[in-house]
Chains A and B, each alone.
Chain A
Amino acid sequence: MRTAVITFPGSNCDRDMAVALERASGKAPLRVWHADKDLPERLDFIALPGGFSYGDYLRSGAMAANSPIMRAVKREADRGVAVLGVCNGFQVLAESGLLPGALMRNAAQTFICRTAALEVVTNRSLFTSGYEAGRTIHIPVAHHDGNYFADAETLDRLEGEGRVAFRYHENPNGSQRDIAGILNAAGNVLGMMPHPERAVDAAHGGTDGLPLFKAALERLAAA
Chain B
Amino acid sequence: MKVRIHVSLKPGVLDPQGRAVHHALEGLGFAGVENVRIGRLIELDVADDTSDASLTEMCEKLLANTVIENYRIEKAD
A58 in contact with B67 (CB, 8 Å) = no
Binary per-residue interface labels of chain B (1-29) against chain A in the complex, 1 for a CB within 8 Å, 0 otherwise: 00000000000011011001000000000
Closest CB-CB distance, B48 to chain A, in whole Å? 25
B16 and A59 within 8 A (CB)? no
The answer for the CA separation of A104 and B17 in the assembled complex, in Å, is 11
Q: Is the CB of A105 within 8 A of B67?
A: no
Cβ-defined contact, A108 with B16, below 8 A: yes
Minimum CB distance partner of A101 in chain B: B67
The residue of chain B having its C-beta at the shortest distance from the C-beta of A106 within the complex is B16
* Contact B16 A102, beta carbon cutoff 8 Å: no
Please indicate the chain B residues that have their CB under 8 angstroms from the CB of A174 in the complex. Answer: 14, 16
| Contact across chains for A109 and B68 when beta carbons are under 8 A apart | no
B65 touches A109 (CB 8 A): no
**B16 touches which of A58, A100, A105 (Cβ 8 Å):** A105
A107 to B15 Cα, complex, angstroms: 8
CB distance from B8 to the nearest CB of A (A): 13
B62 touches A104 (CB 8 A): no
Expressed in whole angstroms, the Cα–Cα distance for A147 and B15 within the complex equals: 11
Q: Is the interface of B mostly helix, strand, loop or mixed?
A: helix
Q: Measured between C-beta atoms, what is the minimum distance from B59 to chain A in Å?
A: 12
B36 in the interface, Cβ–Cβ < 8 Å?
A: no
Closest to A154 in B: B67
* Residue-wise interface mask of A (134-177) relative to B, using a CB-CB cutoff of 8 A (1 in contact, 0 not): 00000000000001011100000000000000000000001000
Residues of B within 8 A of A106 (CB): 16
Instruction: For chain A, give the interface size range.
Output: 20 to 34
Q: Once the chains bind, are B61 and A104 in contact (CB under 8 Å)?
A: no
Could you give, for residues 61-86 of chain A, a 1 whenever the CB lies within 8 Å of some chain B CB and a 0 otherwise? 01000100000000000000000000
Known: A101-B67, A102-B67, A150-B67. A66 touches B61 (CB 8 A): yes
Of chain B, the residue at the smallest CB distance from A174 is B14
The 4 closest A-B pairs by CB, nearest first: A102-B67, A102-B68, A109-B16, A107-B16
- A residues in contact (CB < 8 Å) with B: 58-59, 62, 66, 94-95, 100-102, 104-109, 147, 149-151, 174
30 A–B pairs (Cβ distance < 8 Å), ordered by A: A58-B62, A58-B63, A59-B65, A62-B62, A62-B65, A66-B62, A94-B67, A95-B65, A101-B67, A102-B65, A102-B67, A102-B68, A104-B13, A104-B14, A104-B68, A105-B16, A105-B17, A107-B14, A107-B16, A108-B16, A109-B16, A109-B17, A109-B20, A147-B14, A149-B13, A149-B67, A150-B67, A151-B67, A174-B14, A174-B16
- Assuming A105-B17, A149-B68, what are 19 further A-B pairs, CB within 8 angstroms? A58-B62, A62-B62, A62-B65, A66-B62, A95-B65, A100-B67, A101-B67, A102-B65, A102-B67, A104-B13, A105-B16, A107-B14, A108-B16, A109-B16, A109-B20, A149-B67, A151-B67, A174-B14, A174-B16
